[in-house]
């Protein structure tokens, strides 16, 4: 992302939060996951700001040319700095960069209390969806070291029930932004109007299915296969007969409508803009969604009786997304990064157009939903702070008025959405693949001495074609004066997959001395030489037939 310079507001929130919470790791640490991309981006930006493009180039080359990729050695060679000194200068640069934001913003707890699992349990929660009664919130949670759908009590702000507990082969994973798939817009859970089920998409086989989870007992009640690609962000209609969702078809990102009775799918928006995060109005006559054709995503309203009748609801700078209606249907809650590029929660009065900001956080605040409490209407949302997403409750009555939104305007024509990165395809240069030349795909070499000073070495060589359909793997080993080798060729081009392997293995035996109890290396040699042919046919992600 550094070369493309395509960091969005969610991505920027990660390092801003880490810096101001004093959680920036050392450049020599083995950072993984989504944080690694954000961390690496800022390391490169710091290097270029301090040493220029030439310094960045030197740093990359030194990292590549250092055995085992030791970053501390690359830092020393490129900048003549110890890694501790580099880290100190990097963190100071980050603090200076983000300090202006910290002076004006605060922790999510300043705007209301947090939901919690139990004392001492560190977990992440996202995509809050409110039950019809307003007493329960469905959300993704990681408190069991997996991504589950759980219910939370609104009055107590505590975990009530896990709906997806346990291992299953029914699906591969649940579609949960920032947990199992990349960020998009809106929430990935929806409560049915009767409160009996919770809708969520899951990866199953080659595509995605819509799952209806039993809100009382847990588990899957019903599933619907979805023909469109990358389906996500479900929303129930008020009558419970249909579910709107975001997906891709024919090169477009549109809003679709699934009929739960017949299983048929209708494209509602069918335009060149990027449409996402749908939500129904309480009367069921309209659909509000986030749509982007130019630089920013804005909220639009579509009339379900005539989908061509559309109105733009928000304007100006920044992205607006994750909308939901107030309980009386007279206002919209949504997230926007219109101020300082930081996502906060806003309330838009649909009649007066008055705009109220409910939060002003350092990280990011997304996906607000209105709930009813004894004290009146409150808003549950997810916020990123101290390296994780959590749920929070806030009072919209304590918000800050920040002006009025422009009057809603009818939409006549949308521009074509152009993503940050495009790959052009030249038709006259498309040709069939000629031959299947293999290229080096992976090379690993290891050398070591055992406790008795025996020299052990191993080399692994992997070759593959451009598509990975044909692979040749070679393993060479040397133990003292003995050498082993294995070679295998595998054809994965079709569902019926086959391969052939040849091998010559020699090994030590290690046994326990029954008198002393110690392990003894016996100088007896086991040798196996041969060849084998094998085939396999995958039946699903979890089952296959082998021969």
- For position 295, what pLDDT does the model report? 85
Which run of H or E residues covers position 62? helix 33-64
Does the global pTM surpass 0.95?
no
pLDDT tens per residue, range 506-521: 776 566 666 666 666 5
pLDDT at 415: 75
Predicted confidence (pLDDT) per residue in 445-492, tens digit: 888 877 666 777 889 999 999 888 999 999 998 876 678 889 999 999
Tokens describing residue 166: 């346990």
CATH code: domain 108-410 is: 2.120.10.30
Q: pLDDT tens for residues 359-409?
A: 999 999 999 999 999 899 999 999 999 999 999 999 999 999 999 999 999
Q: Is 123 a residue whose pLDDT tops 90?
A: yes
- Phi, psi at residue 131, to the nearest 5°? -75, 160
Cα 439 to Cα 42, 169, 403, 485, distances in angstroms: 33, 35, 60, 20
The secondary element (H helix, E strand) that includes residue 48 is helix 33-64
Predicted confidence band at 167 (pLDDT cuts at 50, 70, 90)?
confident
Report the distance separating Cα 159 and Cα 139, nearest Å.
10
- Residue 358: pLDDT over 60: yes
Residue 195, pLDDT > 80, answer yes
CB atoms within 10 A of CB 445: 10
Task: Please give the full DSSP string across 443-456, using - where no structure is assigned.
Answer: EEEEEEE-TT--EE
Lowest mean pLDDT among 32-36, 360-364, 373-377, 419-423: 419-423
pLDDT band of 505, cuts 50, 70, 90: confident
Average pLDDT for the chain: 91
**Are the CB atoms for 11 and 38 separated by under 8 Å?**
yes
What's the token pair of residue 28? 């020599």
- 104 burial level (CB within 10 Å; 0-12, 13-18, 19+): exposed
Nearest Cα to 229, choosing from 258, 208, 256, 259? 208
Q: Which residues of 281-435 form beta strands (DSSP E)?
A: 286-292, 297-303, 306-312, 320-325, 331-339, 342-349, 354-357, 364-373, 376-385, 388-394, 400-404, 409-410
Q: What is the largest CA-CA distance in the chain?
A: 91
């Amino acid at each position: 992302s550094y070369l493309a310079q395509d960091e969005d507001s969610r991505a920027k929130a990660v390092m801003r939060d880490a810096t101001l919470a004093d959680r920036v790791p050392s450049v020599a640490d083995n950072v993984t996951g989504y944080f690694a991309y954000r961390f690496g981006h800022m390391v490169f930006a710091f290097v270029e700001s301090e040493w220029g493009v030439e310094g960045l180039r030197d740093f990359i080359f030194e990292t590549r040319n250092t055995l085992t990729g030791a970053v501390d050695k690359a830092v020393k060679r490129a900048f003549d700095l110890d890694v501790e000194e580099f880290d100190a200068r990097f963190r100071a640069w980050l603090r200076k960069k983000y300090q202006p934001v910290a002076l004006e913003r605060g922790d999510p707890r300043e705007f209301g209390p947090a939901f919690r699992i139990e004392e001492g349990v560190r977990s992440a929660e996202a995509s809050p969806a409110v039950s019809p009664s307003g007493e329960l919130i469905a959300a993704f949670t990681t408190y069991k070291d997996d991504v589950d759908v759980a219910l939370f009590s609104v009055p107590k702000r505590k975990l009530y029930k896990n709906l997806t507990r346990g291992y299953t082969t029914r699906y591969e994973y649940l579609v949960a932004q920032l947990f199992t798939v990349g960020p998009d817009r809106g929430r990935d859970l929806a409560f049915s109007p009767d409160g009996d089920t919770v809708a969520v998409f899951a990866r199953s086989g080659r595509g995605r299915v819509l799952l209806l989870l039993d809100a009382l007992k847990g588990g899957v009640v019903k599933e619907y296969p979805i023909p469109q690609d990358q389906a996500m962000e479900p929303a129930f209609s008020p009558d419970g007969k249909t579910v709107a969702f975001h997906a891709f078809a024919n090169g477009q990102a549109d809003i679709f409508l699934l009929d739960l009775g017949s299983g048929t799918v209708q494209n509602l928006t069918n335009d060149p803009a990027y449409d996402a995060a749908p939500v129904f109005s309480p009367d069921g006559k309209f659909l509000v969604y986030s749509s982007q054709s130019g630089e920013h995503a804005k909220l639009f309203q579509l009339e379900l009786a005539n989908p061509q009748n559309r109105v733009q609801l928000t304007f100006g700078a920044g992205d607006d997304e994750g909308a939901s209606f107030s309980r009386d249907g007279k206002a919209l809650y949504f997230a926007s990064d219109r101020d300082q590029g930081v996502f906060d929660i806003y309330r838009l009065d649909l009649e007066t157009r008055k705009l109220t900001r409910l939060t002003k956080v350092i990280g990011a605040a997304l996906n607000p939903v209105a709930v009813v409490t004894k004290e009146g209407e409150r808003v549950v949302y997810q916020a990123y702070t101290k390296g994780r997403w959590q749920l929070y409750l806030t009072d919209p009555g304590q918000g800050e008025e920040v002006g009025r939104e422009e009057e809603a305007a009818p939409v006549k024509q949308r521009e074509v959405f152009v993503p940050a990165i495009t790959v052009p395809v030249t038709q006259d240069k498309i040709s069939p693949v000629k031959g299947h030349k293999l290229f080096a795909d992976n090379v690993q070499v290891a050398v070591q001495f055992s406790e008795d000073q025996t020299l052990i070495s191993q080399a692994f060589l992997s070759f593959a074609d451009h598509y990975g359909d044909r692979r040749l793997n070679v393993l060479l080993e040397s133990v003292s004066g003995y050498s082993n080798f294995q070679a295998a060729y595998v054809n994965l081009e079709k569902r019926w997959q086959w391969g052939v392997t040849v091998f010559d293995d020699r090994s030590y035996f290690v046994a326990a001395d029954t008198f002393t109890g110690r392990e003894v290396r016996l100088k007896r040699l086991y040798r196996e030489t041969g060849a084998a042919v094998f085939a396999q046919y995958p039946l699903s992600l979890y089952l296959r037939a082998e021969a």
